[in-house]
Amino acid sequence: MWERTLQDLIRGLRANKKDEAKFIAQAVDEIRQEIRSKDMELKAGAVLKLTYLDMLGYDMSWASFHVVEVMSSPRIHLKSVGYLGASQSFDQDTDVLMLTTNLLKKDLTSKAEDVAVALNGFAQIVTPDLARDLAQDVIKMLTHSRAQIRKRAVLALFKVLVKYPEATPHAMTRLRERLEDSDPGVVSATVNVLCELARRNPQDYLSLAPQLFHLMTTSSNNWMLIKIIKLFGTLTPHEPRLVKKLQPPISDLISTTPAISLLYECVHTCIIGGMLQGTTGNALARTCVTKLANFLQDTDQNLKYIALLALVKIVPTHPYLVAEYQDMIMSSINDQDISIRMRALDLISAMANRDNLQSIVQQLLSHLVRNESAPLPSAVQSLAQHTTSAPASTRLVNAPSQSPAYRLILAQRILALCSQGMYENVTDFEWYLSVLVDLAYIASADIGGEIRDQLVDVAARVRGARRYAVQLMVKLLCDDTFLMHAGEEGSCAEVLWAAAWICGEYCGELAEPQKLLTYLLQPKVLSLSSDIIAVYLQAAIKVFGSWTAELADRWDDDDLPKVRNTVDTVVERASEFASNSDIEVQERAANILQLLTFVRADLNVFRPKVEVGFEYDEPEASGFGEEASAEPRFPKSLCLVRPLFDAYELNPVAAVAQESVPVPEGLDLNAWVVPPPKEDVTPLQEAEPTGETKPKKLKKGKGKDTGAKGKGKKRKDTEDTGDTLIESVETAEDKAERERRKAERLERLRDDPYYLVDDRAARPKIQQDDLDSIPVVRLDDLPPLPTGSAGNSRLPSLRSTPRTATPPSYMVDRVGEMPANARPATPLQEPTPQSLSTVSAGNGAVSAPLPSFPVYEVEDDIPRTGTPSPIKVVRAKKKSKKAGSSNGKKRTTDSTSTQ
């Protein structure tokens, strides 16, 4: 007998630390020999060794049949090795499990030791099949003469019920009897099992309440009491009458028990069990919060941790009680223990409201900032560290915020806090915008994309903050160091996407558009990712367009060289991008080039009109076909670019906008787009459903067309426009023809066995009588609009006064734009009861005139008027935060890719 025992294997492993893999390969070879041996001792030894190797990460699934062999040994010392191997290595898909049914049945009727081992192993390896086949045997064991076995059977029964719920009715009556078992261990195990089962479907276990209540009031076993209390915590939400009954004994326990774990569970159950309602409940709530606050102050970190856990759950119902301890909770965020920080973050997030949001966010930001300075300790500090040689304490405090994962969580938390409920807690959006930019600078975490989305969303939804947003974004775009570090990890370079987009979209707010152009087109931009470059280019042309148009408004012939210069630079820069490897960048650069080549040609032939008499020198490039007398004093091409971009305003699209677009008549959404080849129709016919979908897409844009200036072109690429225009001029004949073909086809398909024909009548007309349910609130007591701003969608003046203590109120376009002919809102959009940021007349200093707010009439076909309309706060629950924020970037007409 030279075989190695487990002990030999382990000694060998320890001796061969340097060449472990080789040693183990050798050992496994031996095991392969031994495991096939006829000698059961040897076989079991091999299985045991394999089980050990399994823990170290070596596969043993190949040996599962041998494991079953060892399990079937009649000798308990071998059998238990087999069961151990099985419970460590088998999973639900192990095929040899089906061989174990009879083995388990036999072992369950064997000696007590065997039954114990078998039950333990069974609880680990049970599958639905095993559970079904052995349910009866396990239930029988519930009345075994030995408490030890009954206990195990109770726990094994839980596994049976999880895998095979059909056994529940029968098992429950037997399980119930165990609550009155003579052995406290069995009762405790039964409560354990009930606790697990009740969590899955509490209603079924309400009938056990009297028995449990009796146990609770008579038992003194803390382990079991904890479980019973927990069990009641899951039951009470489904049986309000229990609350009254439980309140006295639980309050009693809270005030008397010396065991903190039990005390904590009582408090916890009170909270999750909804026992804190009503007058008695309020008193209890106060007790609970006081107890938890005591935990919070305790030196034991564990108590601090669980106190935070429980406080999170009480905040929704009793925020004012928790608010009393806000300072204490705030200090927990600074705890050196990351576990506590994480829970404190949760709690703080739950506590955030309009009043404390700014201070909370400021504090969270400071965590991210402090770190920034950590690598560069001041001279005094480093000196002190050297002399005292006990720097551990100072370093430890900062340790958690060094972890990148924690920084990411922190940054995400800040964003989530501010954006929750569609910014319902944000009172000052200029503050929020600056927070976002700060975050981009200090986060050093992979959060750029989320910050970008927030920036765009806020700029799109909050008109009042746009000017500030543009200012901030210009700063960001001009920041060379930010650009320089953009390639680094955690640099949040995506923010530049938002910066460029916002500057481009709201370029009217720019102070020095021309200056920005050089930044947008600087060669260093090439280091950014291509999607950002594309937005840069697009922004550049938008800025250029708005700049030239403004120049045209106040044309002075002295500007001409300046314009020429700028055009030349832009062309030069854009041509660098035109050869970019990315198709998107290339195309946009090419667009710019073409537009500007045209502008340049126009500029070159432009002759300043010094005298009226010079009108004979009419430049030949007057391709606009206008009257000579109406010829403007400036190069006409200056007004070429802007209309391409500003014909429509971009508004956030409501979450439900798409689905509220009524399906146009005659459009069958279920029709084949590309019919299967079997159908013998000409390609011309096949193409028709494709054509049908297009006008539908356009519909949304067209609805807005009616109200906008007619000269505006579609904000799409020109080819696209041409394409869709053709599609949209579908004449009545076409339509009739199409209908006819469709009918023909349907007729053909009716007898085709491969098709299911929908015989139902066409989609019922959309109900139009539900307009009242659309949540539109008219605010009557608003300050009148300054007449000067009529027709001007921008803020007329820059606010030059410094920020006052009271921030201005902002209008947030929470709901987003709906299509003009929207269907009635779905019931999902209940108006929310929360008070919206109603506009109060700002203090004199902050008299930012309210911008004209687009009105989205829901009546059919009423065009939007150009006149400033009364301000409406459109209140409706947005569908989801996410949908809302992504909508912010969307063109109302089509996807973002066309910008």
- Determine, following the binding rule CB under 8 A, whether residue 195 of this chain makes contact with other proteins: yes
Could you tell me the two tokens for 743?
């009918």
Name the residue with tokens 């922004």.
Answer: 539
What is the C-alpha to C-alpha distance for residues 776 and 818, in angstroms, rounded to an integer?
A: 12
Task: Name which of 231 and 418 has its Cβ closer to other proteins.
Answer: 231
| Part of the chain binding other proteins (CB under 8 A), chosen from 71-79, 459-467, 484-492, 757-765 | 71-79
Q: What is the DSSP letter of 75?
A: S
- Determine, following the binding rule CB under 8 A, whether residue 152 of this chain makes contact with other proteins: yes
Say how many CA atoms lie within 13 Å of 815 toward its Cβ: 26
Chain centroid to CA 600: how far? 47
Name the residue with tokens 């200012």.
Answer: 471
Task: Name which of 304 and 877 has its Cβ closer to other proteins.
Answer: 304
Site for other proteins, residues 280 to 319, rule: CB under 8 A: 300-302, 304-306, 309
- Determine, following the binding rule CB under 8 A, whether residue 158 of this chain makes contact with other proteins: yes
- Determine, following the binding rule CB under 8 A, whether residue 782 of this chain makes contact with other proteins: no
- Determine, following the binding rule CB under 8 A, whether residue 631 of this chain makes contact with other proteins: no
Decide: residue 216, CB within 10 A, 0-12 exposed, 13-18 middle, 19+ buried: buried
Could you tell me the two tokens for 827?
């019931």
Least distance to other proteins, CB of residue 126, Å: 8
- Determine, following the binding rule CB under 8 A, whether residue 52 of this chain makes contact with other proteins: yes
Least distance to other proteins, CB of residue 51, Å: 7
Site for other proteins, residues 110 to 139, rule: CB under 8 A: 113, 116-117, 119-120, 123-124, 126
Least distance to other proteins, CB of residue 170, Å: 20
Task: Report the interhelical angle of 513-520 vs 559-578 (nearest 10°).
Answer: 20
- For 776, the 3-state DSSP assignment is strand
What is the C-alpha to C-alpha distance for residues 462 and 433, in angstroms, rounded to an integer?
A: 11
Q: Which of 406, 423, 429, 856 binds other proteins (CB under 8 A)?
A: 406
Q: Which of 27, 51, 364, 595 binds other proteins (CB under 8 A)?
A: 51
- For 374, the 3-state DSSP assignment is coil
Least distance to other proteins, CB of residue 196, Å: 6
Task: Report the interhelical angle of 392-402 vs 404-423 (nearest 10°).
Answer: 50
Site for other proteins, residues 562 to 621, rule: CB under 8 A: none
Least distance to other proteins, CB of residue 567, Å: 51
Could you tell me the two tokens for 819?
């299509």
Least distance to other proteins, CB of residue 25, Å: 18
- Determine, following the binding rule CB under 8 A, whether residue 10 of this chain makes contact with other proteins: yes
- Determine, following the binding rule CB under 8 A, whether residue 704 of this chain makes contact with other proteins: no
Name the residue with tokens 């209908």.
Answer: 739
What is the C-alpha to C-alpha distance for residues 63 and 21, in angstroms, rounded to an integer?
A: 19
Q: By C-alpha distance, which of 325, 319, 284, 323 is closest to 304?
A: 325
What is the C-alpha to C-alpha distance for residues 544 and 333, in angstroms, rounded to an integer?
A: 48
| Part of the chain binding other proteins (CB under 8 A), chosen from 77-85, 550-558, 559-567, 573-581 | 77-85
Site for other proteins, residues 242 to 271, rule: CB under 8 A: 258-261, 264-265
- Determine, following the binding rule CB under 8 A, whether residue 64 of this chain makes contact with other proteins: no
What is the C-alpha to C-alpha distance for residues 692 and 505, in angstroms, rounded to an integer?
A: 32
Site for other proteins, residues 84 to 113, rule: CB under 8 A: 84, 88, 91-92, 113
Cross-strand partners of 872: 778
What is the C-alpha to C-alpha distance for residues 877 and 481, in angstroms, rounded to an integer?
A: 41
Least distance to other proteins, CB of residue 381, Å: 21
What is the C-alpha to C-alpha distance for residues 408 and 560, in angstroms, rounded to an integer?
A: 50
Q: SS3 breakdown of the chain: % helix, strand, coil, rounded to 5?
A: 65, 0, 35
Q: Which of 72, 168, 222, 434 binds other proteins (CB under 8 A)?
A: 222
Contact 891, 456 (CB under 8 A): no
Decide: residue 392, CB within 10 A, 0-12 exposed, 13-18 middle, 19+ buried: exposed
Task: Name which of 76 and 593 has its Cβ closer to other proteins.
Answer: 76
CA distances to 89, 206, 492 from 65, in Å: 11, 44, 55
- Determine, following the binding rule CB under 8 A, whether residue 232 of this chain makes contact with other proteins: no
- Determine, following the binding rule CB under 8 A, whether residue 155 of this chain makes contact with other proteins: yes
- For 387, the 3-state DSSP assignment is helix
Least distance to other proteins, CB of residue 195, Å: 6
Task: Name which of 176 and 199 has its Cβ closer to other proteins.
Answer: 199
Q: Which of 150, 151, 367, 875 binds other proteins (CB under 8 A)?
A: 151
Number of residues forming the site for other proteins (CB under 8 A) = 78
Task: Name which of 81 and 603 has its Cβ closer to other proteins.
Answer: 81
Q: Which of 380, 405, 674, 729 binds other proteins (CB under 8 A)?
A: 405
Q: Which of 57, 169, 827, 833 binds other proteins (CB under 8 A)?
A: 57
Least distance to other proteins, CB of residue 333, Å: 14
Least distance to other proteins, CB of residue 582, Å: 33
Q: Which of 110, 148, 385, 394 binds other proteins (CB under 8 A)?
A: 148
Least distance to other proteins, CB of residue 795, Å: 41
CA distances to 19, 163, 690, 889 from 815, in Å: 66, 47, 32, 14
Q: Which of 4, 105, 132, 199 binds other proteins (CB under 8 A)?
A: 199
- Determine, following the binding rule CB under 8 A, whether residue 80 of this chain makes contact with other proteins: yes
What is the C-alpha to C-alpha distance for residues 565 and 561, in angstroms, rounded to an integer?
A: 6
Task: Name which of 222 and 869 has its Cβ closer to other proteins.
Answer: 222
What is the C-alpha to C-alpha distance for residues 748 and 740, in angstroms, rounded to an integer?
A: 12
Query: Helices marked H in 751-897 — which ranges?
Result: 881-887
Task: Name which of 116 and 459 has its Cβ closer to other proteins.
Answer: 116
Helix (H) or strand (E) holding 874, with range, is strand 872-874
Q: Which of 396, 526, 757, 845 binds other proteins (CB under 8 A)?
A: 396
Q: Which of 64, 127, 188, 444 binds other proteins (CB under 8 A)?
A: 188
Q: Which of 156, 296, 477, 656 binds other proteins (CB under 8 A)?
A: 156
Least distance to other proteins, CB of residue 144, Å: 14
Least distance to other proteins, CB of residue 85, Å: 10
Task: Name which of 165 and 675 has its Cβ closer to other proteins.
Answer: 165
- Determine, following the binding rule CB under 8 A, whether residue 732 of this chain makes contact with other proteins: no
Least distance to other proteins, CB of residue 197, Å: 10
- Determine, following the binding rule CB under 8 A, whether residue 5 of this chain makes contact with other proteins: yes
Least distance to other proteins, CB of residue 50, Å: 12
SS (H, E, C) 624-649: CCCCHHHCCCCCHHHHCCHHHHHCCC
What dihedral angle (degrees, nearest 10) is formed by the CA atoms of 721, 723, 727, 731? 90
Task: Name which of 490 and 643 has its Cβ closer to other proteins.
Answer: 490
Reading phi first (left if > 0) and then psi (alpha if -120 to 50, else beta), residue 198 is in alpha
Decide: residue 363, CB within 10 A, 0-12 exposed, 13-18 middle, 19+ buried: middle
Site for other proteins, residues 522 to 541, rule: CB under 8 A: none
Residue 485: count other Cβ atoms within 10 Å of its Cβ: 16
Task: Name which of 126 and 516 has its Cβ closer to other proteins.
Answer: 126
Task: Name which of 337 and 727 has its Cβ closer to other proteins.
Answer: 337
Least distance to other proteins, CB of residue 297, Å: 14
What is the C-alpha to C-alpha distance for residues 128 and 299, in angstroms, rounded to an integer?
A: 48
Q: By C-alpha distance, which of 212, 194, 213, 214 is closest to 204?
A: 194
Site for other proteins, residues 310 to 369, rule: CB under 8 A: 336-340, 342-343
Query: Amino acid identity, residue 247?
Result: Q
Least distance to other proteins, CB of residue 346, Å: 10
Least distance to other proteins, CB of residue 407, Å: 9
